[in-house]
Copies of this chain bind each other. A is one copy, B any other.
Amino acid sequence: MPGIEIERKFLVDRLPDALPAGQRIEQGYLAVADDGVEVRIRRRDGAATLTIKSGPAQVRTEEELAIDPRRFASLWPLTEGRRLTKTRHVVPLPDGLAAELDVYHDDHDGLLVAEVEFPSLDASEHFAAPDWLGPEVTGDARYANQQLALRGVPAPRR
């Protein structure tokens, strides 16, 4: 199924013992429309992009434009109050899999989220999660980056 991503998302109970070096990601939302259309800028490893994504009820559209450092610096202040900063560590897992482990900073300090992408539905269903992974939050909108940036870290469930 080309274009379909099979991913599962988990909270992380503790950092794994061998944590590879990470890459810092700064991400801010210029604007999010009522119907969920979002426009964000992101800087990662010195490269900056502006990305537009459709809302949940629309045909899925995503467009990414490279922007130069001057533009990023000019636009960043416009994302005030709608930002997140995280360090992404790519942690190898058995069976050729990998977890993208995001360690959030600043307003989201303490939040650890990992995402694993699978080559097939079968691989996804038979995934043996390592013990450092916590509760699954796949599909939980509160942990989408847009919501984290706009609303902060969700209150713990009881």
A interface with B by C-beta (< 8 Å):
29-33, 35, 37-39, 50, 52, 54-55, 58-59, 61, 63, 65, 67, 71, 74-75, 77-78, 80-82
Main SS class of interface, A: mixed
Complex formed: what's the CA distance from A151 to B13 in Å?
47
Cβ-defined partner of A37 (8 Å) among B30, B55, B63: B30
Complex formed: what's the CA distance from A63 to B71 in Å?
7
Q: Jot down 29 A-B pairs with beta carbons below 8 A, ordered by A.
A: A29-B33, A30-B33, A30-B37, A30-B39, A30-B52, A31-B32, A31-B37, A31-B38, A31-B39, A33-B82, A35-B80, A35-B81, A37-B78, A50-B50, A50-B65, A52-B78, A54-B77, A54-B78, A58-B78, A58-B80, A59-B77, A61-B74, A61-B75, A61-B77, A61-B78, A63-B74, A63-B75, A65-B65, A65-B71
Complex formed: what's the CA distance from A72 to B77 in Å?
26
Chain B minimum-CB-distance residue to A29? B33
Most chain B beta-carbon contacts within 10 A, residue among A35, A38, A52, A77: A52
CB neighbours of A38 from chain B (8 A):
31
Cβ-defined partner of A33 (8 Å) among B32, B67, B77: B32
